[in-house]
A and B are shown apart, each in its own frame.
Chain A
Amino acid sequence: MLKLLKRLWFIMKTPSSAAFGFVLFLGFAGGIIFWGGFNTGMEATNTEEFCSGCHAPIVKEIQETIHYSNRSGVRAICSDCHVPHNWTDKIVRKVQASKELVAFAMGTISTQEKFEERRAYLANREWHRMKANNSQECRNCHEFDFMDFSEQRALSVKQHSTALASGDKTCVDCHKGIAHQLPDMQGVEGW
């Protein structure tokens, strides 16, 4: 092992005898393979199939909601709402998610009963996360600046133009359980 490392270091130290263009090409090709591979791997962990590997019951729940089935056929998948789109935030979330692999190994939510028991905890965690980042994942699609108030219900207009516009409230403060079954809402603000 040490011998191998030494040889590697030696190769790295000596100037290459290959043509400059060739070395450059190798660099580019390597970059494409590694960076592309990394991103493809990351994309793979963002698919519905991957999520449902552990969260199967929750994936079923979304099917009757407007984020899954609606008149125009635009839809959101798990990662659209639960994984930040911004690259750095995404990496941070993905690293945090390594903890969830442990939960998977331990079978923390491996049955419907275990999952129901943990629903309140899981929901609370997501509500807090979205509250903290000002519901960024909602806003990736639902941009406040482009909302047509004349198309909204009177009450929605009232609340969006006051509490939401001033930043007092963020989307998830009112819009809970829009894509999932709710946990026990006793004591939750507004319920």
Chain B
Amino acid sequence: MKKLLTAIAAGIVVLSASSAWSSDSDIITDNGGVLSLRGYEQVSDVNKSEDMKRVPRDQQLIDREYIQQPPLIPHSIRGYQVNTNANKCLSCHSFKNAGAMSATKISVTHFETREGETLSDVSPRRYFCLQCHVPQADAKPLVENTFKPVDSLQ
């Protein structure tokens, strides 16, 4: 009887001790006393970072500005996972799923290797969508821009 009680008590102690969890989410902002080209200055002191921009959840398709421009993403992509295990973008935009999801298909150029050979699935070099395709927030231009698309795109 006594042994059983001791066992139970020990079990409780072990369980409560193992449940501690550490939070290491503190943002490190100091340069750790390392001398760099800008001296011991903190980056955050000289240059305040911009506020985060809000990306609209859904917007109209955005026209291309020049011929080779990768189309822009007209929706929010918060929480989309694109890694070795899964590609959330392709779960709608792949050839296989685009029809059912009424989404734009990726172009066939995404199946080509650097040597111009066409593969049966997305080429590894084109797998990370966000390298070229990005969503658009309503950010005012920092400097004046006079760029005009060519006639065929206007």
Contact = CB atoms under 8 A, between A and B. Distances in A.
Contact of A49 (B1, B20, B97): B20
Interface in A95-123: none
A66 B21 contact: no
Interface residues of A, number: 26
A184 B85 contact: yes
17 contacts: A49-B19, A50-B19, A52-B19, A52-B21, A54-B18, A56-B21, A59-B21, A63-B25, A153-B57, A153-B58, A155-B101, A177-B88, A178-B79, A183-B85, A185-B86, A190-B97, A191-B90
Nearest to B21: A52
B91 interface: yes
A66 B91 contact: no
Nearest to A181: B81
Interface string A142-154: 0000000000011
Interface residues of B, number: 25
Interface of B: 1, 15, 18-21, 25, 57-58, 75, 78-79, 81, 83-88, 90-91, 97, 101-103
B86 A53 contact: no
Contacts of B18: 53-54
Contacts of B88: 177
